[in-house]
Amino acid sequence: MQPKIVDSSPSAAARTTASSSRRSSWDEKEAFASGSDSLLTSSTASLRPPQDKARRSGPGLLIFPGTAQRHQHNPNGSTDSKTIAKANDGNVAINQQGPARSIRSFRRPPLWQPQPITDHVEERGAGEQDLDGETGRDSRSACLAKVQAFIIEFLQGSSIHGFIYLAKLGLNFAERMLWFAFICMALFSIISLSTRTWHRFQNSPMVISMDRNKLVWNTSFPSLTVCPHKRIDELKVEEYILAHPEQFLSEEDQEDFRDFIVKLASLTYDNLETLPLNKSYGIPSGKYLDLLYELKWPFEPEISSGAAVKMFIYETQTEFGICHSVNSLVARYNSFDYWRSGDWSLLDHGDRVTVHPLDGEIYAQIINLSTAYDVYFHGAGDVPSISKQRYTFPESDYTTVELIALEIYTNEEARATKQRSCRFNYEAEDMKTVPIYSFGLCLSECRMFFALRVCGCIPHFYRNRCGYNHIFGTQMRNGRRLPVCGLEGIGCLVKIKREIISLKSDKYKINCNCLANCDDSNFFVQSYRSRVWFLGANLQWGIIEYPKLQLRRDVLFSFADVLVYIGGLVGFFLGCSALSFTEIVYYFTVRLVRRMFFN
């Protein structure tokens, strides 16, 4: 049984009465805001400023060390006594007579324990707007303080060299700015050199080297296109004149029509100005090509060769008119029958004709030409171009042409590289008139669309129906018809023919975006000789000397090399690695959310 000490002196009662009167001026909730049984004395209450009324009081500190203040009812049922519980010893009760008394104590300043929002809302008074503004400023200041602490933590803990000196203690402002300048110079050097590296990867990642292993080569046999000078059959022209008497009222009209149709059949960019533009004889421009094939001269040459693979000769429509191509993989896509049928499918051409040094001398021969002709030599995957050199031979000579070959092929590793600056024949997603890619076909399309843009029409020797290949690898479908140039349109083409031929213009912007063939063959005429032949014009050509070198297109700078080069720059200037960038991502995602919202 612990002894009880009762204080019943008048002075104690007076102190209790004075304390009660002063405490009654405070809000009843303020005295017991902490929800505990602590008692606040008048001296503690007097330390609290009036404007901090909205803050919650913290737990009080007794003047007796190691004790805690507690409110407890008298077990005897008396309201005039209080009990002070000692922390380690038993209970020592001090009975106070009269009104409730308190023991003088000190508590923590109210700013140490801010009041929750719920209690703050309940105790709003006349200064509600001022408290809201102060609370908003306090929250913003706390948020900025958290951000600042987070940035300092990142700089001090980052593995990137130099960052730690921006937040290290003991450095003045000049030292921090010096380190900041060093870091900026390092970042500028990394970005500048990395940009040059990426530009090199995008524009010139390939290298062309020489391959001298000639014993395993299969050299492509030279392809050629023959364009006869005689293209119109006079008998068919006379039949056409007789069938349309309403269009030819006089002999002069008939003679002018004969001249017009002959020049129209031989029309090309070089001789546009020679076409008479005074009369169309009732022929719409869209029917020019149909009429030319209706009145064409029957040119049917024959082909023979000593190669193991049989060669074929196909009729094709070129920028020089109606011609015939030998050993060509793209000639059939420009044939009039292919255009007229509206076909967009890929055709089977068989194997490419190749020769080997062990095969000896191999020649091919075209006989029964029976007219003078122009010859264009090119690779099997290309077509004759107006910029290529042409050779003209008479109709009464037997001509032998000897050529040398220079081939370029692309390594298998480069097929997956989009920056190889060349295209294979199956990469025809940008072609509009054929389902196959060729450098010569791409240039022809570029000239065609340039003429369409300037003059509003295209020459009749182009395919006037465009197809659109929306999904690579699918069959192309028919698109819109393009207008064919009449007499007025041809007059417009005469004015810009130099720009069309060279595809260069100061007035118009021309961007063909045509890349070379990845597998290409270039042939050069070394010598040719002609002699009079009583059986008509014949042409013989072949390779007299097999090439001793080939050109190979390889990948010099791949994407892996780009990563290694840029990684070396970052490691050299900042001393960091891939894990350092992972660290940055971690800090500004997971770590930032955790520090700002959950810490």
518-531 pLDDT, tens digit each: 988 889 998 889 88
Q: How far apart are alpha carbons 438 and 46 in whole angstroms?
A: 97
pTM of the model: 0.66
Neighbours of 399 (CB within 10 A): 21
pLDDT classification of 599: cutoffs 50, 70, 90: low
Q: How far apart are CA 166 and CA 152, in angstroms?
A: 8
What b/e string do you get for 477-486 counting C-beta neighbours within 10 Å, with b at 16 or more?
A: eeeeebebbb
As a whole number, mean pLDDT of residues 467-493 equals 68
Q: Produce one character per residue of 156-173: b if its CB has 16 or more CB atoms within 10 Å, e if not.
A: eebebbbbebbbeeeeee
pLDDT of residue 486: 92
Report the C-alpha gap between 357 and 351 in whole angstroms.
19
Mean pLDDT of the chain: 76
pLDDT score of 131: 54
- pLDDT of 487 higher than 70: yes
> H/E element holding 87?
none
Q: What is the pLDDT of residues 524-565, one digit of tens each?
A: 998 889 888 877 788 999 888 888 888 888 888 888 888 899
Look at 98 and 146; give whichever has higher pLDDT. Answer: 146
Model confidence over 569-598: pLDDT tens digits?
Answer: 999 998 888 888 888 888 888 888 887 777
Nearest to 67 by CA among 84, 44, 81, 82: 84
388-439 residue pLDDT tens: 888 999 888 899 999 988 889 888 888 877 788 889 988 888 898 899 999 9
**What residues contact 246, with CB distance under 8 A and at least 6 apart?**
282
| 83 or 199, higher pLDDT | 199
pLDDT at 225 over 70: yes
State pLDDT tens for residues 236-252.
999 999 998 888 888 89
The model's pLDDT over 58-79, given as tens digits with 9 standing for 90+, comes to 443 333 344 344 444 444 444 4
Quick check: helix, strand or coil at residue 69? coil
Cβ atoms of residues 543 and 525 within 8 Å: no
Q: Interior CA angle at 374 toward 369 and 380, to 5°?
A: 90
pLDDT given at position 136: 67
pLDDT at 18 over 50: no
**Is 5 or 205 the better-scoring residue by pLDDT?**
205
Q: Say which residue the tokens 């380690």 belong to.
A: 88
For residues 317-322, average pLDDT: 92
The single-letter code of the amino acid at 156 is: Q
Q: Would you give the DSSP letter of residue 457?
A: S
